Amino acid sequence: TAEIYDYGGGVIASKAANVKTKSMTGQQLIDATVSTLRSLLDEQETEIGPLARISVGVEGIVDGAGRILLSSPVIDVQNIPLGEALEREFMAPAELANECNMIAEALRWRAPERYGPNFAAVVLTIGIGMGLYLNGHLFSGIASSATEFGHLCYKPDGALCRCGRRGCIEAYAGQHSIWRAAIGA
């Protein structure tokens, strides 16, 4: 999904594209992302001006600088330089962030007095993740997504997780694991 927001956080335009990412190459994912955003921009009846910033929420792990999609359960390829590609194409600063971190950021931005300087936003959907605010700042660790606790080892040599490792918390409590248990697999 691509969306364009105004400076007040209001949605100007939105476009969804059904893209099967799992078997794509990194370049194909970049091309699909650029194409979706370019199409949304081209569809606008009035000129909205150049983009001031591009923020990309991804399911998966990004590097600490917010430039590279290190790994994601939605694609089999790793280390995709999506941020750099978007900056080249649209001439605007681009940053990638884990979706859980973006949820925490949105909560803090919308109601800082409610959430205060320290809180966690736990996300239990297809995967399991967390966005964490400490001392008024989003915590992401030294190099990447430190709060991706869904991929901590719960049971060594346990059930296969969709990340490719075994025994992750997500392999026992994520949506795919619940489905697997329901069908007796």
- Cβ–Cβ < 8 Å for 106, 120: no
pTM of the shown model: 0.80
- The per-residue pLDDT of the chain, averaged, comes to 89
Return d(Cα 172, Cα 181) in angstroms, integer. 9
Task: Answer whether 128's CB lies under 8 Å from 134's CB.
Answer: no
DSSP symbols for 26-71: HHHHHHHHHHHHHHHHHT-SS---S-S-EEEEESSEE-TTS--EEE
Instruction: Report residues of the chain scoring pLDDT below 70.
Output: 142-146
Beta strands 119-124 and 11-15 are: unpaired
Tens of pLDDT, residues 19-63:
999 899 999 999 999 999 999 999 998 888 789 999 999 988 888
pLDDT on residue 177: 81
| pLDDT the model gives residue 142 | 65
Measure the CA–CA gap between 32 and 55, rounded to whole angstroms.
16
CA 111 to chain centre: 22
pLDDT confidence of residue 145: 61
What is residue 178's predicted lDDT score, i.e. its pLDDT? 82
